[in-house]
Structure 1
């Protein structure tokens, strides 16, 4: 008998990776949620056999229908797309709040809609022992003992998964595990002036607010995320895993990047700067990102909370590719960085 996984965000990075894994997993049917079943990305997935269903993360009733009959749900919410929506920028001004606070509110609303729908009696009863794998991040406010009050894209996730469902939906919480995602290796696309920044003398320098020896998780999100989700779904609930292909400092990242590019290590460098220096000229986006890099120093990107890593899952017998920085570097097109 076939089983059904419902994938939220199937046209995005994380959901797309989960879909790629389950398309090759015998006995599974995939139901993908989309706001527009007629989009090119939705049609492409439908052509592969995915059942694309129209749903809205801000409409819990549409999610209940989409979740019915599911054995497994993969949940992911979105902070950054609303952040860069000009209409939301104007809305934040009208409401007298920052764009970060508004996007916290919007992402929290998405997560609550997912949790409320998954906890519906007709849905939760049909879920597997581990029936919800939710993408989240550490609680910056909690893990830093209140130091970081406005690291919104961390707390908007953590305040729902796990905080809200443990408080409001205990039966769902008993069937839930969590995946945290490391720094996306693709993030350089959005910050080419900082990482890896090309200098006037032809060298490359990364300037970030993380201490030079602070170890951080790095993830090839499109290639590896789905394998972590599959592993968590096969384990008893209540687990948290950090999805990362490699853990290393940013200084080490630059050296690994140089090796993948075939450059002399002397051609790259790393410099720690303050939050103010890193965020200069970047507005609220720059501050949000720079504080994340500082947070990575202490208590750590994972909040200093122990959780499963890729090597732990491998020892349990799961297939976890764990793409390294060097491997990712070799397959990427770096023209955006090289031609600055």
Structure 2
């Protein structure tokens, strides 16, 4: 009999490849929690084999309890940008509680790096959407593996952001320019398809994955590597330019620089001191990657481990560009940073 997997955040950029990966295996019946069952994404997911839709909000306890009924396994990705730090910490803990009470056997928390701790508590590396998730991870580490096994999947910037927030601009002379506030650092990009494969490995092998924090990425890519990969794949000239974060926020903003992320969530306000503005958050986000060059800085990935558990994974920016036939043109991947 198939095990029922609840995917919280299943209609988002990260959740979709997870639903696709799990639904391809008849031993899993996938239940997706979404607020909008009539959306095109929900309809596309419902068309996959072994997929059902649960209507509800991931920050509503009654909806969560209903969605968790009869669930064996769970993957939970909360919306950091919509919730804000404080609410994400609360709901990250509370959803775990509800999963235990509902009889879930194995629970996966979708996390991001503990940037503040890794930087030696440098406020310049305090990233709001990383802080909430990483604090829940640290709390989970105090929990036993009974009655519910748990694992953590730590991701990072999606390489698919090269279609959108990190997209290059084309000059009149035909040169494509990638402008990041990265200096000589590197970004351990994550390929969304690999997220699905990693979650499937965790659920397929609980005897090894229980208690693990599985950190995934393609490679630690510098700005120069991104530009050279583009030229190698497309044959078009490209270069990388390091720019100040203030310029990047002006030219390629993830949202209004003064907007406090999570301020629209019920109970939060625009003057909430626990929230960071888009400018504060993403300036610090780039600081983190400026200090992560060569897989020897603040953020590190065990690539040998990933080669073993995700065989055939995408291992470079160039390989990803070849796979998706990347052209530098815009494609929308990520939901609104306000959570709308």
Displacement of 1:308 in angstroms is: 4.1
Q: What is the TM-score normalised by the length of structure 1?
A: 0.77
Normalised by the size of structure 2, how large is the TM-score? 0.77
Q: In structure 2, what is the equivalent of residue 51 of structure 1?
A: 52
Q: Which residue of 2 aligns with 1:143?
A: 118
Output the CA distance in 2 between the equivalents of 1:46 and 1:275.
40
| Distance change (3 Å), C-alpha of 1:38 and 1:64 | same
Cα gap change, 1:173 to 1:296, in 2 (>3 Å): farther
The answer to whether structure 1 residue 262 and structure 2 residue 238 are counterparts is no
Q: How far off is 1:299 after superposition?
A: 5.5
CA apart distance, 1:171: 5.0
Instruction: Name which of 248, 262, 285 aligns with 1:292.
Output: 285
**Unmatched 5+ stretches in structure 2:** 258-276, 332-340
Name which of 135, 139, 144 aligns with 1:159. 135
Shift in Å, 1:229: 1.0
| Pairs within 5 Å for 1:93-104 | 103-104=84-85
Find the counterpart in structure 2 of residue 69 from structure 1: 70
CA positional deviation for 1:178 = 1.5
Aligned match for 1:247, one of 208, 220, 224? 220
Q: Which SS does the other structure have where 2:134 is aligned?
A: helix
Alignment of 1:228-247 (within 5 A): 228-233=198-203, 234=205, 235-247=208-220
Q: What CA distance in whole angstroms lies between the structure 1 residues aligned with 2:307 and 2:20?
A: 19
Q: CA deviation at 1:72?
A: 1.7
Q: Deviations over 1:32-80 (max 9, x none)?
A: 1111333333233233331211232111232233223323211111124
In structure 2, do the counterparts of structure 1 residues 172 and 77 end up closer, same or farther at CA, with 3 Å as the change threshold? farther
Q: Which residue in 1 is equivalent to 2:38?
A: 38
1:179 correspondence with 2:170: no
> 2:221·2:317 contact (CA, 8 Å) conserved in 1?
no
1:197 and 2:172 aligned: no
Equivalent position of 1:325 in the other structure? 317
**Are 2:243 and 1:273 equivalent residues in the alignment?**
yes
Secondary structure of 1:44's counterpart equals helix
Distance 1:181 1:24 in 2: 22
Residue 298 of structure 2 corresponds to residue 304 of structure 1: yes
Cα offset, 1:154, TM superposition: 0.8
Matched position secondary structure for 2:65:
helix
The structure with higher relative contact order (CA 8 Å, sep 6+) is 2
Judging changes above 3 Å, is the alpha-carbon distance between structure 1 residues 287 and 312 closer, same or farther for their aligned structure 2 residues?
Answer: same
8 A Cα contact 2:163 2:328, kept in partner: no
State the secondary structure of the residue aligned to 1:227. helix
Number of aligned positions between the proteins: 301
Match of 1:315 in 2: 308
State the Cα distance separating 1:12 from its structure 2 match: 1.5
Q: Cα–Cα, structure 1 residues 258 and 109, in superposed 2: closer, same or farther, change >3 Å? A: farther
Gaps in structure 1 of 5+ consecutive residues? 83-101
Q: 1:244: Cα distance to partner? A: 2.0
The Cα shift of 1:306 comes to 5.3
Write the deviation string for residues 222-242 of structure 1: whole angstroms up to 9, x where unpaired.
x22110111222133121222
Alignment-derived partner of residue 94 in structure 1: none
